[in-house]
Amino acid sequence: MLVAPLLLFVLFSFIVPIASMLFRSVENGIVQDTLPLTVEALQNWDETTGELPDEAVYDAFVRDMIVAIDNKTHTRLGSRLNYEETGMSSMFRRSGRKLGKMDPETDGPFKDQVIEIHDGWGDPNTWAVIKTHSPAVTNGYFLNAVDMRRTPEGAQSQPEDKQILIKLFGRTLFMSLVITGSCILLAYPVSYLLANLPMRVSNLLMILVLLPFWTSLLVRTSAWKVMLQQQGVINETLVWLGLVADDARLVIINNQIGTIVAMTHILLPFMILPMYSVMQTIPPTYTRAAKSMGATNWTTFWRIYFPQSIPGIGAGSILVFILAIGYYITPEIVGGTKGVFISNRIAYHISSSLNWGLAAALGTILLAVVMLLYWCYDKIVGIDNVKLG
Amino acid sequence: MKVTKTTLLASAVAAVAGGAMAEEMTIVSWGGAYSKSQLKAYHEPYSEKTGVTILNDDSSAEAVAKLRAMNEAGNITWDVVDVVAADAIRLCDEGLAMEIDPEVHLAAAPDGTSAADDFGDMLVSECYIPTIVYSTTFGYRTDLVGDTPPTSVCAVFDTDAYPGKRALEKRPINNMEWALICDGVPKDQVYDVLETSEGQDQALAKLATIKDDVIWWSSGSDTPQLLADGEIVMGSTYNGRLFSLIEEQNQPVGMLWDAQVFDLDGFIIPAGLSEERQQRALDYIFFASDTQRLADQAKWISYGPARSSSAPLVSQHAELGIDMAPHMPTDPENAKNTFLYNFEFWADYRDDIDAKFQAWLAQ
């Protein structure tokens, strides 16, 4: 009973939104709801013949459109279909006014009149697109998310010059791994130092680790811009020292290096904290015992200390990797063109193109990939070996 | 002392009366200098006239997504939203913005010209009340271009004459058009060419010639910053940003008005407001989009008024005291070679070409 409030909170703030996102990636009721008669009439039309549908379809279409124009939903359908076939948006918008004035009882036959309004209606492909995307549940968004598309002939891959999403998924995973790796390398010595210094000193140093946490993410990322750009602090110093020629300044921003450097810095505390708390629990007596029995420093570290610190590395890696995979502000600012992640595309589809179905499909795939990797991690390392302290 | 008390009492009564009518509205805009210009030209005089309190929300960059989310949740908290034309068209198509009848909802010009004629071609969507014309154009470092400052937009593609990095926006819009113009396509045929797959490839091929020299920006403040740092030799951005860089911050930057692309910014009213709030929003729009108000905004920022009747009324900058007319993108001297952004084309082709463009960028 006591957990009920928390359970309800988690349910409504976490599980319900995720479920609705998953649902949005397959939901496609809009075509059927807006053009119910047309969709039904199109069932009797064979798109493979390459011929236009007959008068019955056009008649149904005019009736549907009159209702849709009344409710102002025809342009919404136009934008939905424009994701699949460029030009649909203006076709629906431009045809709206004239179609709305027609009277379905007296003005027929409609076929020629409708084609007169916009010649797009005289293209069999238009009707094929409507028919292909009429089911209320679609795999179209998921196909789009993996650089494929739904066509009357089944799933096909996108033209080569529009394939980008799989590449971005791959890049996101690869760069998140690199960032996790560089976080481990940097965080391990720092945590070791923190765990083995006297309390007073380590507390002071801990504040330095936590300091970035209290600074806005945007400020930290912008600071990296000042550091890394070609007229920035690092390049200026190198040129001043004579290590780099003035006309051959290093390009270390607006590419993958920029993203990796900035994100490693931003995510570093998430690696240090779990490592630190695990290392603190390692009793110093073990290493002393090993040394007293004649082990070298390296053997002591590698055989005694390191295995005991692995749970900290595991916890930190999972934290950093999962955070990195969903980052988008930092790659957007310092990533240029080669350092952006899949989440930048998700943000584009959520806020600019309003193609929420595709954004949901991309998000779902990302979620599935993370869970899959988590499962692999559990199989290989074992989740029991992860400790936060 | 007694006088003060009476005044206090009177204002308290007025406040209570005002509160009872819940005279409050939320207007969404872009923030920064732009919001300030609206505050001075529209909000303050309107509040003074009607007693309505105006709350500002700087969310215009996410307005489209947020309005859709509000619409789905059935709780619209915004009364008037400032968006660019392309977003207005999208909102109108999605049924998220209310349709406006210029003859009924907008004031006529002082000389009696109807609002529809006064705005003319600027009324690009049935839901949209444009207020300013801004342009996307190039700024260049005067100290980095030698003795021959660029006069043509094609200088952007000429890395021999103007070596160094250039900044372009990380989206296909405008860049594709400039690329085609500099590849020899006549201005009036650009969109016919861009409609075809070959035309899109042609534009990308032209952009590919400078791809290694481009820094791609995504926020309007990037190019001015990069110019000020000397990180780039030239870059595209909004003309108002360059104005503030040159006139207010005195940076060694010049403006290249050639082939500037006009775009609009203005108001929409979200669909589905209650009758009372809708009336208030319409009343505000009627006031804020009249001839004098649009001209007043130009005192604060170098964007041109969307009404033709406002242009002669544009005066001096309120703080710098310089004449604003020569800094307007619509000024005849600056508008010798302009390019008309085709809203309908981009409403159709934006997603398609964007996918191509992003794939090309990632190569």
Q: What is the CATH number of the domain that holds B103?
A: 3.40.190.10
B318 in the same domain as B358: no
Nearest to B359 among A83, A86, A161 (CB): A161
Tell me if chain B has a CB within 8 Å of the CB of A255: no
B276 in the same domain as B358: no
Residue A17 binned pLDDT confidence (cut-offs 50, 70, 90): confident
Tokens standing for A78? Answer: 């136009």
Give the mean model confidence (pLDDT) for residues B98-105: 94
Residue B22 binned pLDDT confidence (cut-offs 50, 70, 90): low
Nearest chain B residue (CA) to A164: B359
Nearest to A354 among B65, B361, B362 (CB): B65
Tokens standing for A370? Answer: 């993370």
Residue-number span of the structural domain to which B312 is assigned: 24-133+264-331
Residue A1 binned pLDDT confidence (cut-offs 50, 70, 90): confident
Say if the Cβ atoms of B347 and A89 lie within 8 Å.
yes
Q: How far is A12 from chain B (nearest CA, A)?
A: 14
Task: Count CB atoms within 10 A of the CB of residue B45.
Answer: 15
Report if residue B212 sits inside a domain: yes
Q: Which residues of B fall within a CB distance of 8 Å from A168?
A: 362
Q: How far is B186 from chain A (nearest CA, A)?
A: 23
B126 in the same domain as B61: yes
Nearest to B230 among A76, A87, A231 (CB): A231
Give the mean model confidence (pLDDT) for residues A68-96: 90
> What ipTM is given for this predicted complex?
0.87
pLDDT at B5 over 50: no
Tokens standing for A306? Answer: 């390191």
pLDDT at B8 over 50: no
B272 in the same domain as B194: no
B270 in the same domain as B259: no
Say if the Cβ atoms of A350 and B215 lie within 8 Å.
no
Say if the Cβ atoms of B68 and A83 lie within 8 Å.
no
Q: Which residues, listed in sequence order, are joined to residue B84 by a DSSP beta bridge? A: B265
pLDDT value for A3: 86
Residue A381 binned pLDDT confidence (cut-offs 50, 70, 90): confident
pLDDT value for B13: 44
Please give the interface size between A and B, counted as residue pairs whose CB atoms are below 8 Å apart.
87
What is the distance between the alpha carbons of residues A78 and B348, in angstroms, rounded to a whole number?
10
The three-point CA angle A72-B88-A36 to 5° equals 25
Q: Which residues of A fall within a CB distance of 8 Å from B68?
A: 354, 356
pLDDT value for A210: 87
B177 in the same domain as B269: no
Q: If interface means Cβ-Cβ distance under 8 Å, which residues of chain B face chain A?
A: 61-62, 64-65, 68, 90, 92-95, 165, 170, 201, 215-216, 218, 229-231, 344, 347-352, 354-356, 358-362
What is the distance between the alpha carbons of residues B339 and B188, in angstroms, rounded to a whole number?
9
pLDDT value for B363: 80
Say if the Cβ atoms of A354 and B94 lie within 8 Å.
yes
Lowest mean pLDDT, pick from A24-28, A142-146, B346-350: B346-350
Give the mean model confidence (pLDDT) for residues A40-60: 92
Report if residue B7 sits inside a domain: no
B115 in the same domain as B98: yes
Nearest chain A residue (CA) to B91: A76
Say if the Cβ atoms of A75 and B358 lie within 8 Å.
no
- Amino acid at the residue B263: D
Tell me if chain B has a CB within 8 Å of the CB of A258: no
More confident residue, B320 or B269: B269
Nearest chain B residue (CA) to A229: B231
Give how many domains chain B has, as a whole number.
2
pLDDT tens-digit map of A96-115: 888 888 888 888 799 999 99
Residue B56 binned pLDDT confidence (cut-offs 50, 70, 90): very high
pLDDT tens-digit map of B301-335: 999 999 999 989 998 998 888 999 999 998 889 99
With contact defined as beta carbons under 8 Å apart, do B257 and B274 qualify? no
pLDDT value for B6: 44
Mutation target for A interface from B67, B191, B358, B361: give the one with most A CBs within 10 A.
B358
B205 in the same domain as B244: yes
Tell me if chain B has a CB within 8 Å of the CB of A78: yes
Query: In whole numbers, what is the pLDDT of chain B averaged over residues?
Result: 90
pLDDT at B298 over 60: yes
pLDDT at B4 over 50: no
Rg (CA), chain A: 29
Q: How far is B360 from chain A (nearest CA, A)?
A: 7
pLDDT at B2 over 50: no
Tell me if chain B has a CB within 8 Å of the CB of A169: no
B108 in the same domain as B209: no
B213 in the same domain as B162: yes
Report if residue B29 sits inside a domain: yes
pLDDT value for B201: 96
Would you list the domain boundaries of chain A?
30-136, 165-385
Tell me if chain B has a CB within 8 Å of the CB of A49: no
Tokens standing for B201? Answer: 């490839």
Query: In whole numbers, what is the pLDDT of chain A averaged over residues?
Result: 91
For chain A, percent of residues with pLDDT exceeding 70? 99
B190 in the same domain as B68: no
Closest CA to B139 of B228, B219, B213: B228
**HEC assignment per residue over chain A:** CCCHHHHHHHHHHHHHHHHHHHHHCCECCHHHHHCHHHHHHHCCCCHHHCCCCCHHHHHHHHHHHHHHHHHCCHHHHHHHHHCCCCCHHHHHHHHHHHHHCCCCCCCCCCHHHHHHHCHHHHCHHHHHHHHHCCCCECCHHHHHHCCEEEECCEEEECCHHHCCHHHHHHHHHHHHHHHHHHHHHHHHHHHHHHHHCCHHHHHHHHHHHHHHHHCCHHHHHHHHHHHHCCCCHHHHHHHHHCCCCHHHCCCCCCCHHHHHHHHHHHHHHHHHHHHHHHHHCCCHHHHHHHHHCCCCHHHHHHHHHHHHHHHHHHHHHHHHHHHHHCCCHHHHHHCCCCCCCHHHHHHHHHHCCCCHHHHHHHHHHHHHHHHHHHHHHHHHCCHHHCCCC
What is the distance between the alpha carbons of residues A240 and A244, in angstroms, rounded to a whole number?
8
Nearest chain B residue (CA) to A358: B351
Tell me if chain B has a CB within 8 Å of the CB of A163: yes
B305 in the same domain as B357: no
**HEC assignment per residue over A255-287:** CHHHHHHHHHHHHHHHHHHHHHHHHHCCCHHHH
Residue A389 binned pLDDT confidence (cut-offs 50, 70, 90): low
Lowest mean pLDDT, pick from A183-187, A211-215, A284-288: A211-215
Q: Is domain A165-385 annotated with CATH 1.10.3720.10?
A: yes
How far lies A113's CA from each of A36, A266, B235, in Å? 21, 62, 49
